[in-house]
Amino acid sequence: MAMELVALVLAAMLLLTVIMRRYGGSAGSSKHGRLPPSPMALPFIGHLHLIRPPPHRAFDRIIARHGPLIYLRLGPSTHCVVVGSADVARDFLRFEASIPERPLTAVTRQLAYGSAGFAFAPYGPHWRFMKRLCMSELLGPRTVEQLRPVRDAELAGVLRAVRAAAERGESVDMSRELIRMSNNAIMRMVASALPGDMAEAARDCAKQVAELVGAFNVEDYVAMCRGWDLQGIGRRTREVHARFDALLETMIRAKEEARRDPLPRDKSRTTKDLLDILMDVAEDEAAEVRLTRENIKAFVLDIFTAGSDTTATSVEWMLAELINHPAYLEKLRAEVDAVVGGSRLVGEPDVAQMPYLQAVLKETLRLRPPAVFAQRETIEAVHVCGYTIPPKTSVFFNIFSIGRDPACWEDPLEFRPERFMPGGASAGVDPKGQHQQLMPFGSGRRACPGMGLAMQAVPAFLAALVQCFDWAVPLPQGTPLDMEEAEGLVSARKQPLVLVPTQRLRPLPAGAAAALA
Q: What is the pLDDT of residue 31?
A: 60
Q: In degrees rounded to 5, what are phi and psi of residue 93?
A: -70, -10
* 289, 292, 294, 299 alpha-carbon torsion, rounded to 10°: 40
What would the DSSP string read from start to end of 413-440? TS--GGGGSTTSTTTT--TTTTSTTS-T
DSSP class of 487:
S
> Containing domain of residue 175, as a range?
2-516
Could you list the beta-strand ranges (E) of 86-239.
172-173
Rounded to whole angstroms, the Cα distance separating 238 from 235 reads 5
pLDDT in tens, 15-60: 444 333 333 344 445 466 799 999 999 998 899 999 888 889 999 9
Residue 96 CB-density burial (10 A; 0-12 exposed, 13-18 middle, 19+ buried): middle
Task: Please check whether residue 105 is in contact with residue 78, taking contact to mean a CB–CB distance below 8 angstroms.
Answer: no
Task: Please check whether residue 260 is in contact with residue 254, taking contact to mean a CB–CB distance below 8 angstroms.
Answer: no
Q: Which has the minimum average pLDDT: 8-17, 118-127, 330-339?
A: 8-17
In this prediction, residue 412 has a pLDDT band, given cuts at 50, 70 and 90, of very high
Rounded to whole angstroms, the Cα distance separating 269 from 271 reads 6
Task: Please check whether residue 371 is in contact with residue 490, taking contact to mean a CB–CB distance below 8 angstroms.
Answer: yes
Rounded to whole angstroms, the Cα distance separating 392 from 80 reads 9
497: number of Cβ within 10 Å: 23
Q: What is the pLDDT of residue 153?
A: 93
pLDDT in tens, 269-311: 567 899 999 999 999 988 888 899 999 999 988 888 777 788 9
217: number of Cβ within 10 Å: 20
Beta bridge partners of residue 375, listed in sequence order? 396
User: Is the pLDDT reported for residue 187 higher than 90?
Assistant: no
Q: What is the pLDDT of residue 15?
A: 42
User: Is the pLDDT reported for residue 142 higher than 70?
Assistant: yes
In this prediction, residue 194 has a pLDDT band, given cuts at 50, 70 and 90, of low
DSSP class of 134:
I
Angle between helices 274-283 and 233-260 (to 10 degrees): 80
Higher pLDDT, 495 or 195: 495
In this prediction, residue 160 has a pLDDT band, given cuts at 50, 70 and 90, of very high
User: Is the pLDDT reported for residue 506 higher than 90?
Assistant: no
Q: What is the pLDDT of residue 392?
A: 93
Check whether 408 is labelled as a binding-site residue.
no
Average pLDDT over residues 151-176: 95
Query: How many domains, in total, are found in the chain?
Result: 1
Average pLDDT over residues 476-504: 88
Q: What is the CA radius of gyration of the chain?
A: 24
CATH code (residue 310): 1.10.630.10
Number of H helices, E strands in the chain: 19, 9
Where is 307: in which H helix or E strand?
helix 293-324
Q: Which of 215, 28, 6 is nearest to 14 (CA)?
A: 6
Contacts of 268 (CB under 8 A, 6+ apart): none
pLDDT in tens, 234-280: 999 999 999 999 999 998 998 888 888 766 555 445 678 999 999 99
Average pLDDT over residues 359-367: 98
Contacts of 39 (CB under 8 A, 6+ apart): 47, 50, 62, 65, 66, 70, 72
Task: Please check whether residue 117 is in contact with residue 298, taking contact to mean a CB–CB distance below 8 angstroms.
Answer: yes
User: Is the pLDDT reported for residue 202 higher than 60?
Assistant: yes
107: number of Cβ within 10 Å: 23
For the chain, the average pLDDT equals 87
Higher pLDDT, 258 or 427: 427
Contacts of 243 (CB under 8 A, 6+ apart): 201, 205
Cis check: omega of the bond before 36, within 30 degrees of 0: no
Q: What is the pLDDT of residue 115?
A: 81
pLDDT in tens, 371-408: 899 999 999 999 999 999 999 999 999 999 999 999 99
Rounded to whole angstroms, the Cα distance separating 2 from 230 reads 6
Rounded to whole angstroms, the Cα distance separating 100 from 292 reads 24
